Amino acid sequence: MTVKSKKVLLTITTITVVVCSAAVFFVATGTHDLPSMIGSDPDGEGYDYQQGIEIIPGEYREAVWNEITGDYRPVYPELTVEEYEWFFGELPSFPQNFFEVAELIYEGKFTDFSQLGPEYYLQPEFYPAWFGVFKNSSYVDYDPVWWTPEGYGCYPSIKEVTVSRDVGSFVVDTYLRTGYAVHAYQGLILEPILPESAVALDGTVLFDNPDNVDGVLSACIINEDDPLYLGFKESLAFDNVDKEDWLVVLKPTHGVLKDKYGEVLQETGFPDDWVRVLQLEISMDGDIPLGDYVVGVDVDTPCFSINQEYYYSTVHEFFGGLYYPAGQFHRTLTPHFQVVIHVI
């Protein structure tokens, strides 16, 4: 089997609530991670996924020992020693060759994400927009009137693979992560789909799926559902999670503990599972016609009966962080993850 990733892109958007004295407004704060081009088509042919989209370049730094963290994490003059521990304390030690590996990922020279350890992909510096976002985020200057309940995305958001028609099935992986400075637990249903067309990031149609694609191609997310959901799903009168789907609860990436007077006692940052490796298994009929196909992953909001269980659960209490049924406001012109398949 040959599975080769050619182009890798990402988008992540967050929703922020501005709490004012008279009302609460939902504001789309824009993309935290704008599309980033990784790699190129070695044959000189391929689809232009990022047409009309500004590309964020990767930022790579020299490895410098950080006396505060005891590893090679970049130095952030804005942070105190205490804040380093709050924000990064649950993450693995920052490797000396981190930026060398991150650049290989960005350029599409390393594509089998299942071989990459969490000491790389769990670091916020792994994702291209981090350095630009950090200085303007609540990690540096926390403002209590802002509350960000929703923010997530896949890196990459598009993968392009080439497979033999007789391969049967194969797995394509991507990183699903919480957005930066998100304050709530997010309940999401990720659903494999066979979209009508493959589209560029600006919504331009690149090619159409065949009319009979559902007869020759299928997809399933093989990640296990959230443990709390597994404990109660059999007793629900109704739910909207199919066996091919993945119900996941993403943890906050910024928590705030206050005393009874509203003074901030402690902040927290990135938990040790704020990024998940999403595994999409794609199965093909042995007689599938040669050509190009597209499989996507879309996001839906858990139904009321599921959300109700989480609202009353104490499992997800996080310094006052709330459970939020995500997927309602974060809409993109493309599926949240899109796999373009060349069957040869």
Give pLDDT, residue 255. Answer: 85
Quick one: pLDDT band at residue 328, thresholds 50, 70, 90? low
> How many angstroms separate the CA atoms of 283 and 278, rounded?
16
* Residues whose CB is less than 8 angstroms from the CB of residue 277 and which lie 6 or more positions away in sequence, other chains included: 113, 114, 121, 173, 174, 175, 176
Distances (CA, A) of 90 to 118, 274, 295, 338: 12, 10, 34, 31
Give pLDDT, residue 193. Answer: 97
* Residues whose CB is less than 8 angstroms from the CB of residue 268 and which lie 6 or more positions away in sequence, other chains included: 86, 87, 252, 254, 255, 256, 257, 318, 319
Quick one: pLDDT band at residue 3, thresholds 50, 70, 90? very low
* pTM of the model as a whole: 0.86
Give pLDDT, residue 292. Answer: 96
pLDDT digits (tens, 9 = 90+) for 279-298: 999 999 999 999 999 999 99
pLDDT digits (tens, 9 = 90+) for 49-103: 887 777 777 788 999 999 999 999 999 999 999 999 999 999 999 999 999 999 9
CB atoms within 10 A of CB 170: 17
Quick one: pLDDT band at residue 249, thresholds 50, 70, 90? very high
**Sign for the pseudo-dihedral over CA of 139, 141, 146, 151:** negative
307: alpha, beta or left? (left if phi > 0; alpha if psi -120 to 50) = alpha
Residue 244: closest CA among 190, 204, 286, 185: 190
* CA angle (291, 296, 302) in 5-degree steps: 160
Give pLDDT, residue 243. Answer: 94
336 has a pLDDT exceeding 80: yes
Give pLDDT, residue 329. Answer: 66
Give pLDDT, residue 109. Answer: 82
Please answer whether residues 177 and 317 qualify as being in contact, where contact means their C-beta atoms are separated by less than 8 angstroms. no
Region 131-136: what's the mean pLDDT?
85
Q: Looking at this protein, which amino acid is placed at residue 148?
A: T
pLDDT digits (tens, 9 = 90+) for 9-60: 444 444 333 332 222 222 222 333 333 333 334 354 678 888 777 777 778 8
Q: How many helices (H) and strands (E) does the chain have?
A: 7, 15
Q: Give me the chain's average pLDDT, please.
A: 83
> How many angstroms separate the CA atoms of 322 and 249, rounded?
12
Region 184-190: what's the mean pLDDT?
94
> How many angstroms separate the CA atoms of 317 and 326, rounded?
17
Quick one: pLDDT band at residue 261, thresholds 50, 70, 90? confident
Give pLDDT, residue 6. Answer: 38
Length of the chain (residues): 344
Region 210-217: what's the mean pLDDT?
95
Q: What are phi and psi of 326, to 5 degrees?
A: -75, 180
191 has a pLDDT exceeding 90: yes
SS3 156: strand
332 has a pLDDT exceeding 80: no
> How many angstroms separate the CA atoms of 88 and 92, rounded?
8
Residue 186, H or E segment: strand 185-193
- What torsion, rounded to 10 degrees, do the Cα atoms 245, 17, 273, 159 define? 50
